[in-house]
Structure 1
Amino acid sequence: MTLRNMLQLLLLAALWGGSFLFMRVSANALGPAVLIEARVTLAALFLLLVSLFLKRKLPLLKYKRHFLIIGLFNTALPFLFFAYAAQTLNASTLSILNSTAAIWGAVISVFWTKTALTRQASFGLVIGVIGVVILVGWDAASLGSESILPITAGILAAVCYGIASNYTRTAPQISSFDNAHGNMWAAALIVLPLVFFIPIREVPTIEISLSVIALGVFSTGVAYLLYFNLVANVGAASALSVTFLIPVFGILWGYLILDEQIGWNTLFGTLLVLSGTMLVTGFSLRSFVNSKLRVECSR
């Protein structure tokens, strides 16, 4: 992995970690439906401009069923769940719950593709669950019963990502860019009816408007382009290592910008969740670094 790729990976983690900050700022004022409709529509328009520049035609009608499925489980539902949770939970908690998606993906694969969990993966699953319990248990104790539904929503969002990751293994072979572009338009279509039932709560301020724009264009549209560029240059496995960096930036942005407190439960829970995720996915930092060093030396 070159220095440029590493910087792209850090920027991607910063953008995706920042998405929880932007949702935290704007979710209460706009409500989950309006916020996410704005997010996916802005991202879809941004990707449309990129596709026009690249002269890429989106096979939207040809793969409409596929785009609707991935748009529902990979974008619409998890975004809505996180936006709902962002009205109560802080950005660091949201980002850590997001990082459990790989764990849920492994659990779902046991039933979906009959992929048995190894002893290492099973141990990682236990560690990850303990980390989540420590993290959300403390939040539940401090926030009271009102935290139960938001915490459940955050976990369900990660479960949705796990469903989407398993679905894509058997989905039609479509380019990553087209998958991102098509699923954003599908998500915009799916979320749109909710806007009429969960209307905007207050007129957005300049700060909220800028947060929504940043969420849609940068933390979604630009982030997807960075991710697909990394997949093309360093491979999907290496690009997915961003999962372990997102909570770092989620916690950092929450602390620096929103003055969120970093307690022992946040640090310890994060450590357990990320360790469990590494075990479940079979990710080894030492092997990752050594493989990249061998690639660089061979050039």
Structure 2
Amino acid sequence: MPVASLFRLITLAAIWGGSFLFMRVVANPLGSAVLIEARVVFAAITLFVIALYLKKKLKFMAHSKHFFILGFFNSALPFLLFAYAAQVLNVSSLAVLNSTAPIWGAIIGAVWTKTALTKNVVIGLLMGILGVSILVGLDVSNIGENAVLPIIAAITASLSYGIASNYAKNAPQVAAFDNAHGSMWASAIIVLPLLFFFPARESLTMDIFTSVVLLGVVCTGIAYLLYFRLIADLGPSSALSVTFLIPVFGILWGHLFLGEEISLNTLIGSILVIAGTMFVTGFSWKQMTGQKLAAKGID
């Protein structure tokens, strides 16, 4: 893998791992609805400014149905569910549960196409379930019954990502940048009515405002640009390797900034989930680097 692509990959994983840190910090004072509306609006504005610079015109009305479906399953619903979960669960748990998305994607894909799961997918699924069980067991024992619904919410959010990825494969042909840009505006419209029922719980402070801006601009808007660049440089399969690195940074940021304990259960659960995801996606570091070398004519 080229050094530039490796740097983008690690940077993206660090940014997306940080998104759970910011959600953990501001989810309780703002509540899920206000937090996520601010996140998607800031992300949409960021992508709008970039679109103006790149002279990319978004044809929102021409693909409005597509943007609303993608915005609901890929942003609005999972963001809201993770924001709800972040009010109770720690950063490590959120990041690890998020990394199960490819496993759900593979299962939904098999149902969608009516094809049997392969041996590796089944092995990966079992490893993922075991890893989540270890992690979930730890959270329930530490937090109590209050952790059950947030855990279910986080798993459902990852399931939603799996639905979105399978929908995108069969969706109208829309440029990746337009998908991100259009779906963010659609997400903002979807979440907006919730603000009337779930207002902010505390007054806005500079720390909360800064966290929300970073979450929307950096962890959502700019992160999408990095991800699209990785897809262009390495292909979608290799770009998915960011999924395996996000829990590492989630655990690290939670420990460094919030003092979260890195227990043996957290490490074991994380390793099992990441390994299971690798089995499900058929990911191989050797294959990924080999493909890049072959493309350059190097044996």
Aligning the two structures, in what range does the TM-score lie when normalised by the shorter sequence? over 0.9
- 2:294 alignment partner in structure 1: 294
- 1:208 alignment partner in structure 2: 208
Aligned Cα root-mean-square deviation (Å): 1.1
- 1:159 alignment partner in structure 2: 159
Whether the 8 Å contact between 2:96 and 2:273 is mirrored in structure 1 is: yes
- Give the TM-score, by structure 2 length: 0.98
Superposed CA deviations along residues 232-271 of structure 1, whole A, max 9, x for unmatched, are 1221111111011111111110011111000011100000
Q: Where do residues 134-153 of structure 1 align in structure 2 (5 Å cutoff)? A: 134-153=134-153
- 2:168 & 2:115 partners in 1: Cα distance? 15
* Structure 2 residue 248 is the aligned partner of structure 1 residue 248: yes
Superposed CA deviations along residues 274-297 of structure 1, whole A, max 9, x for unmatched, are 111110111112222333333445
Q: Where do residues 27-38 of structure 1 align in structure 2 (5 Å cutoff)? A: 27-38=27-38
- 1:9 & 1:178 partners in 2: Cα distance? 22
Shift in Å, 1:80: 0.2
Whether the 8 Å contact between 2:20 and 2:95 is mirrored in structure 1 is: yes
- 1:220 alignment partner in structure 2: 220
What is the count of residue pairs matched by the alignment?
299
Superposed CA deviations along residues 36-81 of structure 1, whole A, max 9, x for unmatched, are 0000000000000000111111010000000000000000000000
* Matched position secondary structure for 1:266: helix
* Matched position secondary structure for 2:114: coil
Shift in Å, 1:123: 1.0
* Structure 2 residue 275 is the aligned partner of structure 1 residue 278: no
- 1:118 & 1:17 partners in 2: Cα distance? 30
- 1:101 alignment partner in structure 2: 101
Q: Which amino acid aligns with 2:90?
A: N
* 4+ residue runs over 6 A deviation: none
Q: Using the TM superposition, name which of 235-244 and 95-104 deviates more.
A: 235-244
Whether the 8 Å contact between 2:24 and 2:87 is mirrored in structure 1 is: yes
- 1:147 & 1:293 partners in 2: Cα distance? 46
- Give the TM-score, by structure 1 length: 0.98
Structure 1 residues not aligned, in runs of 5+: none
Q: Using the TM superposition, name which of 76-85 and 228-237 deviates more.
A: 228-237
* Matched position secondary structure for 1:174: coil
Superposed CA deviations along residues 6-58 of structure 1, whole A, max 9, x for unmatched, are 10111111111100000000000000000000000000000000001111110
* Matched position secondary structure for 1:62: helix
Q: Which amino acid aligns with 1:231?
A: I
Q: Which amino acid aligns with 1:273?
A: V
* Matched position secondary structure for 2:144: helix
Shift in Å, 1:204: 2.1
Q: Where do residues 224-235 of structure 1 align in structure 2 (5 Å cutoff)? A: 224-235=224-235
Q: Which amino acid aligns with 2:284?
A: S
- 2:112 alignment partner in structure 1: 112
Q: Which amino acid aligns with 1:71?
A: G
Q: Which amino acid aligns with 1:204?
A: L
- 1:226 & 1:6 partners in 2: Cα distance? 11
Whether the 8 Å contact between 2:238 and 2:283 is mirrored in structure 1 is: no
Superposed CA deviations along residues 59-109 of structure 1, whole A, max 9, x for unmatched, are 100000000000000000000000000000001100000000000111111
* Matched position secondary structure for 2:267: helix
- 1:166 & 1:294 partners in 2: Cα distance? 29
Whether the 8 Å contact between 2:73 and 2:163 is mirrored in structure 1 is: yes
- 1:10 alignment partner in structure 2: 10
- 1:128 & 1:285 partners in 2: Cα distance? 19
Percent identity reads 59
